[in-house]
Structures are given as C-alpha cells and as structure tokens.
C-alpha cells in the first residue's frame, strides 16, 4: 500500500484566522509538536503566501522568513514548505525562503491560470526544491479542464498537483471526480486541500482518498480561512481507524490541537452563517466584508450578492464586481411589480 503524505497548514492557512499574528515562540511550539507527532511536511508563511504581508492582505506580526527559520530550527524530521501565489510572491521571495530552509514550494494559481506559474516552477527546480502545484477554486471548473491545467504544471516541473477547494464548495462526488481526473491525466502525484464551509472537509478528503490521492492537507483544530480546514488531528484519527495511518501519532496531535493551538486561537472555525454562505455561493471569504458594505449601501442581503458573484464565477482580484452586482440586484428589486391584493 502506498504511503499517504500529510501536509499541516496550521502555520500558513491558520495565519488567516490568526490575522497573521503568529509569534516566533508560537511557531516553534506548533512546528515542534507537529514534527514529534510524525507530520512529514509543515507549511509556514503568511496566509496569502510569500510576500503576502501588505496593506492589502494584512501585515504579519513577525516577518515570515524569520518564522520559516524558527520552524526549520526545531524540526528534526519534518520538511518545511512555503506557499507562493505568482503576483503576490516573486522570485526574490522564493529565493529568500530557500535560504531560510524551505524545502517544498507550493505554487498556487487560479484553476484556469496555470500558465502564469512556469517561471516559478522553473526556479523552484533550479534551487533543488520540491515543487507542488495548487489549482485554487477548483469547484469552478469541470474535471477535464482541471486535468488540462494540471498537465501544464506537470510540464513545468511540478512533482505533485493539488485540487484546492478554496471556498469549501465541493461535495464528495465533485472532490472524487476531480482527483480521479488528475490521477488519470498525470504521471506525478495528486493532492487535495479541503475547506470546511459546507461541513465536508473530512468527507471530501475521504472521497479524494477513495479516488487515489497521494497527498492531503490539514491544520490543527481546523485553523484556517473561512470555516477552516480539515482538522489534522481528526484526519489522523480517521486514517488510523481505517487502517491507513501513515505514521501519525494520533494522541500527540490531539494534544497539540487542544493544548497548543486552542489557547491561542481567536475563535474555533466552524460553518457559521457567514462561512456557510461562502461555501454555498462558492466565492472567496475575502468577498464577505465587501458584500456586507455593498448590502448596507443598497439595502440588500449580502448573501444574495455573494450568491450572484458565485454564479458569475468571480475570483480573487475581482472585488470591483461586488458593487456592480449589488447595483444590478437593487435595480432588479425595484423593477419587480408590486403584488395586487
């Protein structure tokens, strides 16, 4: 039986929930606990990846390169990974991360924009690092389109390509079909990254496993954007009960989640009304605040704005659509005939 690989993203995706305020000591404690529990890969960066600390995405409490170095210094077995979104992170940040000890670069693009990642994969391989591709917002395109995009990443040098359910919008059959399509199209490994907006992070991860996935992601306590991620400690327990534990210490991960992450987490991610709306609409959680403001301006339920944005397949960088959508919805509501009594 092949060995499934888990990457823990507490120190990257969890950065969103922490408002990017992780301290050196927190990173050391979490990374050391994950390493001792047998987690093979630990991702450490700003929530929006290398170079993400900015006015637009939120400033970090501690520079991410220092956090990467702290994590690397306490890990005896685990490899350190970093996320890079072309256009936010550049070749400069990629090289700097490698100098601080990063061994895996995860290069993320919108699921139809793999072609913008070629130079980043090239540099990653030049530096002798493992290269992983991320196809974000994968619910927005059918499996065959994702397979085409994944083949591009493979041609650029990717060692693995992930289906990424950025909005937590996939159902298990959709997760299965997308992973299966990549498994049939590629000669490299396939990964799956889940979010829990519809309460299906673990279910979708199991569906990906059924489809033959090679790599999966989790975060302690589910700490992450929106309703959070598939919880690492839950994944470990479920895999163990299935007889497919790849070497994770279930009790140690439970303890890390309970005694290290829970005390510092500002809240417990869950599918509350806002997070559920994001998953139901299939849009980025960053749209939520803008939709609320537009809703107040035009006297609309912000959920209707988000659902319409999802119907139009809006992605990150298209926040300017929100006011246009709100205005369209407001005009439609005014044009409705008044019922006669």
DSSP 211: T
Q: Does 15 show up as a binding residue in the annotation?
A: no
**Is 54 marked as binding a ligand?**
no
- Tokens representing 81 are 């990974």
Q: Quick check: is 61 catalytic? A: no
**Residue appearing with tokens 């403001």:** 293
In the three-class reduction of DSSP (H, G, I as helix; E, B as strand; rest coil), residue 79 is classed as strand
Q: Are 239 and 23 in contact (CB under 8 A)?
A: no
Among the options 16, 46, 120, 139, which is catalytic?
16
Residue 47 · residue 12 · CB < 8 Å = yes
| C-alpha R_g of the chain | 20
How many angstroms separate the CA atoms of 43 and 246, rounded? Answer: 18
Q: Which residue has the tokens 């210490």?
A: 249
CB 192 within 8 A of CB 215: yes
Q: Which of 293, 163, 278 is CA-nearest to residue 224?
A: 278
13 assigned ligand-binding residue: yes
DSSP state string for 193-233: E-B-TTS-HHHHHHHHHHTT-SEEEEBGGG-SSTT-B-BHH
12 labeled binding residue: yes
- Report the interhelical angle of 287-298 vs 321-335 (nearest 10°): 40
Buried b (16+ CB within 10 A) or exposed e, 269-287: bebeebbbbbbbbbbbbbb
Angle, to 10 degrees, between the axis of helix 287-298 and the axis of helix 273-281?
100
Q: Which of 24, 25, 22 is nearest to 11 (CA)?
A: 22
272 appears as a binding residue in the annotation? no
Which tokens is 163 given?
A: 């289906």
Dihedrals phi, psi of 329, to nearest 5 degrees? -65, -40
Confirm whether residue 304 is marked as ligand binding. no
Q: Known catalytic residues?
A: 16
Cite the annotated binding site for substrate by residue number.
12-13, 166, 193, 284
Cite the annotated binding site for Mn(2+) by residue number.
13, 193, 195
């Amino acid at each position: 039986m092949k060995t499934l690989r888990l990457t823990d993203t507490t120190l990257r995706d969890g950065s969103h929930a922490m408002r990017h305020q992780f301290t050196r000591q927190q990173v050391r404690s979490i990374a050391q606990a994950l390493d001792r529990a047998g987690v093979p890969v630990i991702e450490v960066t700003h929530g929006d990846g290398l170079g993400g600390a900015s006015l637009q995405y939120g400033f970090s409490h501690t520079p991410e390169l220092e956090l990467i170095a702290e994590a690397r210094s306490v890990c005896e077995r685990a490899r350190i990974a970093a996320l890079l979104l072309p256009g936010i992170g550049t070749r400069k940040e990629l090289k700097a991360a490698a100098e601080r000890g990063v061994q895996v670069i995860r290069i993320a693009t919108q699921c139809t924009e793999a072609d913008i990642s070629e130079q980043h994969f090239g540099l990653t391989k030049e530096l002798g690092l493992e290269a992983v591709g991320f196809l974000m917002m994968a619910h927005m395109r059918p499996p065959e389109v994702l397979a085409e995009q994944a083949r591009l990443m493979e041609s650029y040098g990717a060692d693995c390509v992930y289906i990424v359910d950025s909005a937590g919008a996939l159902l298990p059959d959709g997760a299965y079909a997308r992973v299966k399509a990549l498994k049939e199209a590629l000669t490299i490994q396939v990964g799956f990254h889940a979010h829990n907006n519809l309460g299906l992070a673990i279910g979708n991860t199991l569906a990906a496993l059924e489809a033959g996935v090679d790599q999966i992601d989790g975060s302690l306590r589910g700490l992450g954007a929106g309703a959070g991620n598939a919880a690492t400690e839950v994944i470990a327990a479920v895999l163990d009960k299935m007889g497919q534990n790849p070497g994770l210490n279930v009790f140690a991960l439970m303890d890390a989640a309970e005694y290290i992450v829970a005390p510092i987490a500002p809240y417990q991610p869950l599918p509350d009304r806002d997070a559920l709306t994001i998953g139901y609409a299939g849009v980025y959680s960053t749209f939520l605040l803008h939709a609320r403001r537009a809703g107040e301006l035009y006297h609309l339920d912000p959920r209707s704005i988000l659902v319409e944005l999802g119907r139009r397949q809006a992605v990150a960088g298209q926040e300017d659509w929100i006011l246009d959508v709100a205005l369209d919805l407001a005009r439609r509501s005014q044009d409705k005939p008044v019922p006669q009594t």
